[in-house]
Amino acid sequence: MDRKIEKKRWTLKRIVWLSVSLIFIAAILYGLIFGDHRAKLNVELERITVSTVTQGPFQEFIPIRGNVVPILTVYLDAVEGGRVEKIFVEEGGMVQEGDSILQLSNPALELSVMNQEALIFEQMNNFQNIRISLDQQEITRQDQMIEIEHRLAEAGRTFFADEKLHAKGLVTQQAYETSRETCEYWKKKREFMTETLRQDSLYRQGQIANLESAVKRLEMNLAAVKQNLENLFVKAPVNGQLSFLDAEIGESKSQGQRLGQVDVLDGFRVRAKIDEYYISRIQRGQSASCSLSGRTCRLLLTKVYPEVRDGEFEVDLEFVEETPEDIRRGQTLQIRLALGDLTEALLVDRGGFYQSTGGNWAFVVDPTNSFALRRPIKVGRQNTEYFEVLEGLEPGERVITSSYENYLDVEKLVLKE
C-alpha cells in the first residue's frame, strides 16, 4: 500500500536563503541606526593645505604700506600778497636758512609802510620834546633852589648880626623883627622847594619810564612795519631742499597762499595709511618693522593724525636706529605694525578657511590621515602668519587651512592620495 510522503517545510535551501536575507536586513538596519550619515566629499590631498597646530610666541600685527618722506617739511606761505618780481632759487635747489627764494612787489603796501613810518617818527619826536621839557623843568627847579639857598644864607647872616646888635641896643626892635622874619621866610621857602623837587623828581621818573616804554613800543612798531616790506622777500626758514615752488614771474599771489616747501634732508620718516577699523588701537610709541635691502629695520610710531579720509587715517613712523643709507624719498615700504606685546599662544597657520568660516569651525584631519571632520573652534587675534586659537584645538592636531568654498555643506572630507 502506498504511503503519502510529507514535504519538508524547512529545507536547507530555504534556511540558507532566509539566513542571507536576515543578515542583509540586519546590515541595513544597523547602517540606518548606527551608520555615519554625515555628508561626505572625496578630496584629493594635493588640492588642500594641511597645517599643524603649534604652541609658540605670538604677536598681533597688521601689514601697512608707507612712503618715505623727509624728517621735516616746512611750508612757504605768502605773509603779504603781491606780484612775483624775481625768483632766486629754482625748484629742486638747495637753500640755506635766510636765503631769498623769491621777491614780491606791492606798491600799496610800500606806500602804507612809508605813511606808518612817518607817523611813528612824528610820535617819537613828540616824546623826545616831552623829555627835553622835563629836563628843562628840572634844571629850572634846581636853579630856583640855588637862588633860595643863596637868599637864605644872606638872610641868616643879617639876622645873626642884628641879633647881636639888638642885644646891645644898637638895632631897633622893628629892624630886628624884620631880619628874623626874612630869615624864617627863606627857610620855609627852602622847605617848600625841597618838597617840590622831591615831588617833581618822582613825577619825572614816572614820566621818563612811560616815555621810554612808549619809545620801545614805537621802535617795535617801526620794526614790524619794516618787516612788512621784508615779508615781500620769501626766504628759506631752514637748511634743506626747495622741493616745491609754485610761482612764475608776473604772477599775483594773495596773502596766505601756499608758495612752496623746503624739505630738511637730515633724515627721513615714513608716512602710512591705516584702515579706520584700527583707529582705537593705534597710539604713539607702538613698534613696527620693515625689510630693507635684506635686513630688518625697526621703527617707532611717533604721530597719529586723527582725521579720517576715505576710511583711512595717517600715521608717522621714525627709524629707531640710524636711517638706512640706501633709502630714498618717495620709496614704498611694507611695514608690520605691532598691536600688542609678544605672548605665548596656540597657533594655526593663516589660510583661506577663515573667509568661509569666520574662524568658527574647521576641518580637523584624523590621525589616520584618511578623513577630516568638521569641528567647532574659536579664533582670536591674528597677524599675517598665524591665527590665535582660543578653543577647539590641541597642539599637534592638523587642520585643513585652505579655502572651504566647496565644502560649506559638508561635514566629513574623505582624503584620497
Which string of DSSP letters, residue by residue, matches 223-247? HHHHHHHHTTEEE-SSSEEEEEE--
Tell me what pLDDT residue 304 has. Answer: 93
User: What Cα–Cα distance (Å) separates residue 399 from each residue in 184, 327, 345, 375?
Assistant: 122, 41, 17, 10
Predicted pLDDT at 312: 92
CA atoms within 13 A on the CB side of 305: 14
Sign of CA dihedral 339, 344, 349, 352: negative
| Other CB atoms within 10 Å distance of the CB of residue 315 | 23
pLDDT at 120: 76
Q: Report the distance separating Cα 161 and Cα 280, nearest Å.
A: 104
Report whether 258 contacts 76 (CB < 8 A).
yes
- Lateral strand order in the sheet of 40-44: 40-44, 412-416, 371-376, 361-365, 398-400, 50-52
Output the pLDDT for position 2.
Answer: 52
Sign of the CA dihedral with 205 first, then 211, 217, and 219 last: negative
Q: Let me know how long the chain is.
A: 417
Of 316, 312, 384, nearest in space to 350 by CA:
384
Nearest CA to 363 out of 355, 354, 373, 371 is that of 373
Closest CA to 194 of 137, 132, 151, 148: 148
Residues of the chain by 3-state class (helix, strand, coil), percent to 5? 35, 35, 30
Question: Side-chain half-sphere of 171: how many Cα atoms within 13 Å?
Answer: 18
| Residue 220: count of CB within 10 angstroms of its CB | 10
Per-residue pLDDT, 415: 86
Q: What is the residue-averaged pLDDT of the chain?
A: 84
| Distance separating alpha carbons of residues 122 and 77, to the nearest angstrom | 34
| pLDDT in the model for residue 1 | 46
The per-residue pLDDT for 364 is 93
β-strand pairing of 82-87 with 252-253: antiparallel
CATH code for the part of the protein at 36-60+343-416: 2.40.420.20
SS3 386: strand
- Give the type of residue at 27: A
Domain spans in the chain, listed from the N-terminal domain onward: 36-60+343-416, 62-66+263-338, 108-230
Q: What is the pLDDT of residue 127?
A: 78
pLDDT of residue 308: 92
Q: How far apart are the first and last CA of the chain?
A: 76
Residue 388 is given by DSSP the state: E
- The CATH H-level (homologous superfamily) assignment of domain 62-66+263-338 is Efflux pump adaptor protein, beta barrel domain (2.40.30.170)
pLDDT at 271: 93
**313 within 8 A of 276, measured Cβ to Cβ:** yes
CA 156 – CA 284 distance, rounded (Å)? 88
Q: Which residues pair with 270 in a beta bridge?
A: 68, 317
Q: Which are the contacts of 24, defined by CB distance < 8 A and separation ≥ 6?
A: none
Strands 287-292 and 295-304, by their bridges, are: antiparallel
With a cut of 70, which residues of the chain have pLDDT below it? 1-16, 20, 24, 26-40
Looking at residue 8, the DSSP 8-state letter turns out to be: P
Q: What pLDDT, in 10s, does the model give residues 288-298? A: 988 887 788 89
